A and B are shown apart, each in its own frame.
Chain A
Amino acid sequence: MSAAATMHMPREGSNYDEISMQQSLLFSDCLKDLKNLRTQLYSAAEYFELSYTNDGDTQSVVETLKDYAIKALVNTVDHLGSVTYKVNDFVDEKVDQVAGTELRVACIEQRLRMCQEFMDHEGRSQQSLVINTPKFHKRYILPSAGEIKKGGNLAKLKSVESSFGDEADWNQFRNTVRTTIRETPPPPLRRPVLPSPPPQRKTQRSATFSFSSISNTAPKKEQDKRAVSPHRFPLLRSGSVAIRPTSVSRPTTPSKSRTITPKRYPSEPRRSASVRVAFEKEAQKEPEQQQQHQQPSKSRRLLKALLSRRKTKKDDTLYTYLDEY
């Protein structure tokens, strides 16, 4: 079958070439006949004119002239018809060839465009793979605005911060809280579970007591849970490292302290650690009785500060904030 097919193809090709050659020869013959027809008609007109004038039998000359004119006209029409048909066919064939060539060129252009798009895509993907995105540790990544809005403690802290409308109240409250924290002996090392919970429990108790005395909106069940669960401290303290507002470079409005850069976080634990060491030394020097004697006065100051607060609506959020401290 393949041999037969290969044999048929050259024959078809040769036949096609022969046919096209014959057609082209016929076309050229037709054109030559049309060119010669003019001279023939002129020569025939001269001959009939001479014969009409010289010969006596004019009738036969006229009849012959008529027959010749009719035949010449029919022959001319025939020649012109064949020539025009061939010209039309030739032009249509060339138009079809041009349309096929346009289709091929369009196909090539489309393939070239696809290749170019593929190259661009590959280049983009390579360049995107080359770029190394910076990877930060989880604790250095600030939560986004949406998470802050959605998050519980952070949102509560924000609301508590915003509740302190006046900066003087805020500073007073902060200083009071810090003094109460300083008086309580902090743990010697950063451990998640505090070794000596009684002093901090006292502060928390005082805070909860003072706050419950201010407003009775908080449910008692929640207060009991908060007072009983000491395991909340490490989690809240670890969370407060990332969100604790700095006391040195604090902006005028407390709500703007949310724009803390990640570079400030590594320095924050160091400062707190040194402060803790100093407090530890002080605590070792001071007797415990003096601490117990001073605690009520400090807690009283905390109570005053809390009483001087303007808005006392969000108690739960304030509890969280106090827990973080």
Chain B
Amino acid sequence: MAKAGGITNAVNVGIAVQADWENREFISHISLNVRRLFEFLVQFESTTKSKLASLNEKLDLLERRLEMLEVQVSTATANPSLFAT
């Protein structure tokens, strides 16, 4: 009886250990995927930031050029004698 009880305990311990290892494996998988997700988010943030920065620079340049064009057009329209032939 004692032997049978010891065997069952050992089997239970073994099952528990296996379950524990399975849980650990699952957690490691989940954590790995979460890290990958985190890395992807970090990369996405950097790329999006760079894209937005370049877009902002282009928009600033466009704004300045448009302002210069507006000034030129306003000066040209303010002096209609320049267009008189």
Query: Chain A residues in contact with chain B, CB under 8 A?
Result: 62, 66, 69-70, 73, 76-77, 80, 84, 87-88, 91-92, 94-95, 98-99, 101-102, 105, 108-109, 112, 119, 122
Contact = CB atoms under 8 A, between A and B. Distances in A.
Contacts of B52: 91
B41 A98 contact: no
B53 to A, nearest CB: 11
Interface string B2-37: 000000000000000000000100100010011001
A119 B59 contact: no
Contact of B40 (A69, A80, A122): A80
9 contacts: A66-B26, A76-B37, A77-B33, A80-B40, A91-B48, A95-B51, A98-B58, A102-B61, A112-B73
Main secondary structure of the interface of B (DSSP, over half): helix
Contacts, number: 50
A102 B51 contact: no
Main secondary structure of the interface of A (DSSP, over half): helix
Contacts of A73: 30, 33-34, 37
Given A62-B23, A105-B69, A109-B65, A98 B40 contact: no
Nearest to B85: A122
A84 to B, nearest CB: 5
Contacts of A88: 48
Contacts of B46: none
A108 B69 CA distance: 8
A121 B55 CA distance: 38
B37 A77 contact: yes
Contacts of A69: 30
Contacts of B58: 95, 98-99, 102
B66 to A, nearest CB: 6
Contact of A91 (B33, B51, B73): B51
B66 A95 contact: no
